Amino acid sequence: MNKYVLKTILFTIIGFSGLVAQNKKMEGYLFAYFEGKGAGEKQEQLRFAVSDDAVNWKALNNNEPVVASKDISNTGGIRDPHILRSADGNRFYMVATDMNTKKNGWDYNPGITLLKSDNLLDWKSSVIDLEKLYPVKFKGIKWVWAPQTFYDTKAKKYLVYFTVRFKYNEKLDFYCAYANKDFTGFEKEPQLMFSPKDGAIDGDIIYKDGMYHFFYKGNTKDENGKEIKNGIKQATSKKLHGPWKESFEYLDAYANTNTNVEGSSVFKLNNSDEYILMYDLYSSGRYEFQRSKDLYHFTEKTESFTKDFFPRHGSVISITKEEAQRLNEKWGGVPQSLLLSKDGSYRFQSAGNPIIKHKYTADPAAFVEKDTLWLFTGHDYEGGQKGYKLKDWLVFSTTDLKNWTEYPVPLKIEDFKWDKTNDAYAGHAIKRNGKYYWYISTNGSGIGVAVADKPQGPYKDALGKPLLTNADCFASTHGWTCIDPAVFIDDDGQAWLFWGNGVCYYAKLKENMIELDGPVKKIDFEGLQFTEAPWVHKKDGKYYLSYASGFPEKIAYAMADSIEGPYVYKGILNEIAGNSNTNHQAILEFKGKPYFIYHNGAMQTNGSSYSRSVCIDKLEYNSDGTLKRVIMTSEGVAK
């Protein structure tokens, strides 16, 4: 058997997408859609979203259009985008309804938009106006809706099919035509493909086990022609052009309810025998789906997409990690799991403040080793939280403050078996004797210490018990006083630990970094209004103690000639960080320049006191050694 015959048989058995999947490892999904909320003039535009599991979706380009409708359509609007990977897997085709209802209403649209791309980023387009191109057959056309494309393995051509309605006839039928070789038009005049009994829109064809399955939004009418029911139906055929056997059963879970659905689309999950039938609940602003393994029987219970956008009728294809990375480089927003290197690290660039925009980070600490700045943060799990929910800590590194690497999660609250709170509060890491020690706090169980051989971890509990508890905080009465550790190693090699809420405590550490070396003491001086987040740094023989003060918190600071004081209050260093009641700083020099690292709640759209983001701005000294007020900027320090 020669290769050509074998390839033809494989195409017939599993369809071209199955062959593509054999040659490319599909690990994510791309959703092409138009938006259902926001400014009307921006809704009917092409947008993309990406998912690693086909359920949880993230909009690319901050949910802004990826291609402007004015550049690809006659009307200035597009709806119902359908995206398809080519038979060889290396190109992409897209078709969409050329229609601008916000400008022109619903009365008339005669055409569709065709697009093609080699990389998912750059798209060439053309428009087909059926009434102008085929004035006899399509004279009096009213609508040309929801086009889609299917690769015909026998003809080795791309078939474009769509719904047509004429002004003189309310019937909605499917027409089709083969695209020409360069995908800019049709080879011939479109012909009738399928005429469902009561009309239909939003067709979607998929091939499985020798059968073509045609899903669409259909309806049921009474003897007077009045619609009494609608929903997702299916027709089947052994041939792409039919004849089609129409089933009059409804597949969607809402067919017998007052909830209307449309825009059905079916796709196969990666590395699975399951298919997803998704549809647009356009009257209620939701997108839901049902599952099937045979394309005849679907789960009765619906599931919902989670998403940060409001899609209308769209379609989904599988994509590789390489394709996801290309999409992210141009538009951003791709889930981090699709961007990880083989070692689990994730490389990204800072584009101003906040420096990390793919997740919420808080309570920064940092140190410099050789030419690398290592940043340690807490992790606010989601946006729009109503309380502090932190379950692990994160590590990042950079050599230029613009290009960053995030490492696999190095430490979780569950790694400290003695903790009873399940709250991963602020921490601070430092290097000593070839090891890396990370002092962390919890919401009441105390301060612990973890150790690792590399700054990126993984870290493990060094003691199996707290280093400090509330019992060590002799001047406090509330239960969350033993938090916010900050470690400092002086020029003479002595290590010190500072911590506290309401009272600023400190103590010496032994050379092993996991035991105290002497009694716990507290800092007190005139003007001190200590809330939390102590940090000690040293410059030109002077010690600087900065800390969060008041509530909402500002960062204040004091200076001393000795690490144990006496400290002299110098004033406010950093004002309230936008949209955040808390503030937490790290101060250090990197490549000869001083920097102030902090968090705020500025990340859109759900940043808050409980969904914070780390920022970096420059720090400046006056000639007498005092600090200038930090100016918080959107631009940050990355060049």
Write the pLDDT tens digit of every residue in 393-412: 999 999 999 999 999 999 99
- How far, in whole angstroms, is CA 264 from its chain's centroid? 24
Whether cis (ω within 30° of 0) applies to the bond prior to 455 is no
- Is the predicted pLDDT of residue 273 greater than 70, yes or no? yes
* Tokens matching residue 309: 């956008």
- How far, in whole angstroms, is CA 170 from its chain's centroid? 42
- Is the predicted pLDDT of residue 238 greater than 60, yes or no? yes
Mean pLDDT of the chain: 94
- How far, in whole angstroms, is CA 505 from its chain's centroid? 40
Q: How confident is the model at residue 256 (pLDDT cuts 50, 70, 90)?
A: confident
- Is the predicted pLDDT of residue 11 greater than 80, yes or no? no
Q: Beta partners for 283? A: none
Secondary structure, 3-state, 475-502:
CCCCCCCCCCCEEEECCCCCEEEEECCC
- Is the predicted pLDDT of residue 4 greater than 80, yes or no? no
Secondary structure, 3-state, 555-572:
EEEEEECCCCCCCEEEEE
Beta-carbon contacts of 46 under 8 Å, excluding residues fewer than 6 positions away, are 32, 34, 65, 66, 67, 69, 72, 78, 81, 94, 96
d(CA 531, CA 534): 9
Count of alpha carbons within 13 Å of 427, Cβ hemisphere only? Answer: 35
392 vs 348, which has greater pLDDT? 392
- Is the predicted pLDDT of residue 605 greater than 80, yes or no? no
Residues 188-194 have a mean pLDDT of 98
- Phi and psi for 273 in degrees, rounded to 5? -95, 10
pLDDT of residue 226: 85
d(CA 246, CA 61): 40
Which tens digit of pLDDT belongs to each residue from 500-513?
999 999 999 999 99
Q: How confident is the model at residue 285 (pLDDT cuts 50, 70, 90)?
A: confident
* Tokens matching residue 384: 């729009």
Edge-to-edge strand list for the sheet holding 586-590? 586-590, 593-600, 613-618
For the chain, how big is the Rg over CA atoms in Å? 31
* Tokens matching residue 321: 């990690």
Which tens digit of pLDDT belongs to each residue from 100-119?
999 999 999 999 999 999 99
Query: Percent of the chain beyond pLDDT 90?
Result: 88
- Is the predicted pLDDT of residue 16 greater than 70, yes or no? no
Q: How confident is the model at residue 15 (pLDDT cuts 50, 70, 90)?
A: very low
pLDDT of residue 545: 98
Q: Of the ranges 96-105, 329-338, 550-559, which one carries the lowest mean pLDDT score? A: 329-338
CB-CB contact of 503 with 474 (8 Å): no
The closest alpha carbon to 550, from 572, 524, 530, 571, belongs to 530
Residues 243-260 have a mean pLDDT of 93
Q: Of the ranges 20-24, 118-122, 510-514, which one carries the lowest mean pLDDT score? A: 20-24
CB-CB contact of 483 with 476 (8 Å): no
d(CA 419, CA 447): 9
Q: Beta partners for 166? A: 141, 169
CB-CB contact of 196 with 218 (8 Å): yes
Stretch (H or E) spanning 404:
strand 403-406
pLDDT of residue 12: 40
* Tokens matching residue 451: 């150790």
Q: Can you count the helices (H) and strands (E) in the chain? A: 5, 41
pLDDT of residue 384: 87
pLDDT of residue 84: 98
pLDDT of residue 224: 85
